[in-house]
Every structure is written in structure tokens, then in C-alpha cells.
Amino acid sequence: MGSINQAPRVIQSEETPYFTPANNGGAALNPADPDTPTLFRPLQIRDVILKNRVVVSPMCMYSAESDPSSPFLGALTDYHIAHLGQFALKGAGLVFVEAQAVQPNGRISPNDVGLWDHSPESEQFKSLQRIVRFCHSQGAKVAVQLAHAGRKASVVPPWVAAEAKKPAIIAEEDVGGWPSNVVGPSGGVDHTWGLGYCTPRALSVEEIQELVQAFARSAEAAVRAGVDVIEIHAAHGYLLNQFLSPVTNQRTDAYGGSFENRTRMLREVLTAIRAVIPSGTPLFLRISATEWLDGQAVAAESGSWTMESSLKLLPLLPELGVDLLDVSSGGNHKDQKINLHTNYHIDLASEVRKAIRAADAKTLVGAVGFITQAEQAQGLVQGADEAHAANATVSGPEPVADLVFMARQFMREPEWVMNAAKKLGAKVDVPVQFRRAI
Ligand SMILES: Cc1cc2nc3c(=O)[nH]c(=O)nc-3n(C[C@H](O)[C@H](O)[C@H](O)COP(=O)(O)O)c2cc1C
């Protein structure tokens, strides 16, 4: 733990079993200075303090071992250390590991990562712990996104399908797939996601309950591995999203039909997770705020999951222990009609946040989608702290979000946080090894 004599500020990271300098890139040098932009001010959620408001959004990389007989099946690899590590090193406040399946048949492709093997000796556990230790050594916090792909499971990685000029290709058993064990709330050919996908079978009630426990066990394992934030993936047409929508959920039991029944599995998952993770651990929820089926023929009889449905979900979140709603959209039905423009997601986050504030609730909001510019990101969170302070009168525009989630821009520009700090005039810490350059 000692410091290096010649460089007293270089101290050893406490979490790694070897010497590495503890960095804190992207952290404001004077966070309390009123000139520090909100984007670069720390945010505390329960017991976790994020050094800034910039989040690396989850990004599936389809780069894990697919051989079911390998101990590395579903484990993160050196690729993920390099991929996620660069964002931690270069100053992101919170780094998301890509969607991690809570059961083997919950992977999208056989090359997805998972966290169904909870033993401390398992490669899934150890590899996650290694990512966490590295990110922590760089001052970044780590989130996992727990997921089950439902009817979108058992396809080959998207670039394999793209090379074959196909929208998707079923991953058969010879490449590690499980085409006969793809599941959803409802089954049969009518519930196939699209061309190149498997026909799902409906989950039994017993299987739903097993899945609820699987989410909880994975969350508990993630916390043991040192993960700071747990997010549940209930967006983009994956299993929990499928349950929410009356179009994809046509069950007639306690898990289908009414809003209460369709949200039951999600509520059970969140409750089960809260029961096993520490009270200080933040719990995030990603939803598709709308499935963009308003007015579409497929939703004429059943209705669809709309913004109104999401607003109805909001009052339930505090009692379920959800701290932040990560507002995404779409991906649940091929007939979706999106009016695509740069702000189409951000506008959804804004609407959600306004409703939360109008109800005097404290749930935080994450905005995601087409965020690329420093000023744009800063504009989204500006005033968020003031808006949270008790009895504060907010002047200026209402903030859109509390955290900014970014995916593709980080792939284009891994040092985005450093560049944004420069553009916004925020004085931030730099990793010691980089000081000769920055
Ligand atoms: C390569 C790639 C993989 C993704 N994987 C996930 C994922 O695992 N879970 C998820 O919720 N979203 C995933 N997304 C969506 C992103 O998290 C994000 O919501 C979306 O890309 C919009 O943000 P952006 O405009 O900053 O890229 C993925 C996006 C990309 C580009």
C-alpha cells in the first residue's frame, strides 16, 4: 500500500494483488468549485459515489468462449479487460459490463457472457472479479447488466450473419446453440422474433420462478465479485420486456393479461434481487419506455407497451428498490415504427424525469442514445443536483437526466471523457502514466 518515494502521489491500488498505481482519471480536481460542470461532479447513489456522470452503456461483444465443455464458457476474457479497461483508464465514472445471461439459454449467442456459475472458483466469477479490480484501480465503478434474451436467444454473433448477408442465423447445437430450448412468455411460430430466429416455447410457472431466483443469485454473485451497481435488462425485446408487452405476452395465467400480471415477473425479479444485495448497492432498471407500436395493426386488439405504461410503472419503482431508470426504447416487435431523430431517446428520458419530479419522487434517470458531444452531454445533466436538493427552486431548463449513458461514441473515442473535460474547461485528474501526454 506504500507510496513510491520519488512520486508520493502514486499509491498502490488496494484491490489488485500486485502493484499498480491507483488512478482516478476523469475525476474533477475541485468538485465543489461552482465552475465545475455538473457532468464532472460526483454523484452518490446509496453507498456508491460515482466520480462523474458519464456511464459506458452496456455493449454485447459476442466474444466469449462458446464450447459448452470449456470451463471458460460464458466467462469474460482478456478481450473484455482491454475493451472495458480502456474506458475505466480514460475516466468514465461507471463502466457497464455487457448484458450477462443469468441462465445459459438466456444468452443471445453462444459467444455471450453469463453469470450463472456463481462459484468463486468459476471462470465466470473470477473473470468478473478481474474486470472489477482493474476498473476500481482506475477509480471507475462497475455495473453489470443481468439479462435473459428470451425468444431472441441462440443466434450466431451479428457479424457472422452480416457476412452471410442475412438478418440473423440460428445457432444450432453444433456451434454451441440451444435452438430447441429457446423460451418466452408465449410460445409457437407466431412468437418467433423474425427471420433467422428460433421458435420459442412458453415458460412454465415453475421455470419463471426458477428464473427469478437465477436473477437474484447472479446479482448476489456480482456483488461478491465486487460489482458496485446492478442493472436489470427489461428492454430491447429481451425476456423481461417480452413479459411486459401485451403483444408478446399472451399468457392467461398470473403472468399475463393485466398490467399487474405482465409486470409480475419484473417485480418479482427486482424484489428477489433487493433481498440479496446490500442496501447500499444501487439497483438500476433498463426499460424500453415504448415499443413504438402505437397505432400498429398488431397492437389493435391487445394494445402495446407505451409511454403511458412506463409512466404507470414509475410509482412502483421506489418500493421495489430501483434507484435509476435507464430509459431506452423499442426492439420488442418487428412492426415498430420509430420516428428516428437525434433526440428521440433523450426526449423519452426527459418525459420520464418530468413525471418523476411531478410526483415528487426521487428515482434517478439515465439518458441514452445518440449522445456524442461534450456540450450535449453537459446540457442533459445541468442543474440535476439543484433539482434534487430539498425545496430547491430550479432556474433554467429542467435537466433531462442524472446520468448520461453512451455506447457507440465510446467505441469511436475511448478517451471521450478526457476530451469532454477539455472542451468544457473542467479540470480533471489524469492517469499518472499518461501525464507526459495530457
Ligand atoms: C455493439 C453494441 C452492443 C450493445 N449491447 C447492449 C447490451 O448488452 N445491453 C443493452 O441494454 N444495450 C446494448 N446496446 C445498446 C447500447 O447500450 C445503447 O443503448 C445504444 O447503443 C444507444 O446508445 P448510443 O447512441 O450511445 O450508442 C448495444 C449497442 C451496441 C452498439
3-state SS record for 206-257: HHHHHHHHHHHHHHHHHHHCCCCEEEEEECCCCHHHHHHCCCCCCCCCCCCC
In a domain, 29, yes or no: no
Residue at 7 is within a domain: no
From CA 100, how far away is CA 143, in angstroms rounded?
Answer: 11
Closest C-alpha residue for ligand 1 atom 14: 59
**Which residue's CA is the nearest one to ligand 1's atom 2?**
59
Query: What is the Cα gyration radius of the chain?
Result: 21
d(CA 104, CA 341) in angstroms, rounded, equals: 36
| Residue 11 confidence (pLDDT) | 80
In whole angstroms, give the CA distance from residue 341 to residue 348: 12
Give a yes or no: residue 182 inside a domain.
no
Between the CA of residue 11 and those of 1, 3, 211, 323, 347, what are the distances in Å? 7, 5, 43, 33, 43
User: How far apart are the C-alpha atoms of 177 and 169, rounded to whole Å?
Assistant: 11
Q: Which of 286, 332, 408, 411 to mutate to test the pocket of ligand 1 (most atoms within 8 A of CB)?
A: 408
Print the domain residue range for 127.
40-106+114-144+205-429
Asked if the structure places residue 161 within a domain, the reply is no
Atom of ligand 1 at shortest range from CA of 145: 9
Q: Residue 30 domain-assigned?
A: no
Examine residue 320 and state whether it is found in any structural domain, yes or no.
yes
Distance CA 424, CA 333 (A): 40
Low-confidence ranges of the chain (pLDDT < 70): 1-10, 386-397
Report yes or no: 234 and 244 within 8 Å, Cβ to Cβ.
Answer: yes
Q: Which of 59, 100, 145, 411 to mutate to test the pocket of ligand 1 (most atoms within 8 A of CB)?
A: 59
Cell of 44: 452518490
Q: Count up the domains in the chain and report the number.
A: 1
Question: Which residues have C-beta within 8 Å of that of residue 45, sequence separation ≥ 6?
Answer: 229, 282, 323, 324, 364
For ligand 1, pick from 57, 341, 368, 408 the residue to mutate: most ligand atoms within 8 Å of CB. Answer: 57
pLDDT at residue number 4: 46
Q: Is 241 exposed, middle or buried (0-12, 13-18, 19+ CB in 10 A)?
A: buried
| CATH (domain of 363) | 3.20.20.70
Helical segments of 94-157, H only: 123-137
- CA angle at residue 173 from 170 to 179, to 5 degrees? 50
Instruction: Compute the distance from residue 57 Cα to the ligand 1 centre, in Å.
Output: 6
Q: What is the pLDDT of residue 144?
A: 98
Three cell numbers written together for 321: 428498490
Pairing assessment for the beta strands 94-101 and 54-56 based on DSSP bridges:
parallel
Quick one: pLDDT at residue 10? 66
46 domain residue, yes or no: yes
Could you write out the DSSP letters of every residue in 276-341? HS-TTS-EEEEEES--S-TT-GGGTTT----HHHHHHHGGGHHHHT--EEEEE---S-TT------
Cell of 10: 502514486
Q: Strand 54-56 relative to strand 283-288: parallel, antiparallel, unpaired?
A: unpaired
C-alpha cell at 390: 430539498
Q: Which atom of ligand 1 is nearest to the CA of 57?
A: 17
pLDDT tens, 219-232? 999 999 999 999 99
Residues with C-beta less than 6 Å from any ligand 1 atom: 57-60, 98-99, 145, 233, 235-236, 286, 328, 368-371, 406-409
3-state DSSP call for residue 346? helix
Q: Ligand 1 centre from 369 Cα, in Å?
A: 8
- Whole-angstrom distance between the N-terminal and C-terminal Cα of the chain? 26
Distance 98 CA to ligand 1 centre (A): 9
CA–centroid distance, residue 144 to ligand 1 (Å): 14
406 within domain boundaries: yes
Angle at 221 between CA 216 and CA 224, to 5 degrees: 130
Long-range contacts of 248-254 (CB under 8 A, 24+ apart): 248/151, 248/184, 248/185, 248/186, 248/191, 248/332, 248/333, 249/185, 249/186, 250/185, 250/186, 250/302, 251/185, 251/186, 251/202, 253/205, 254/205
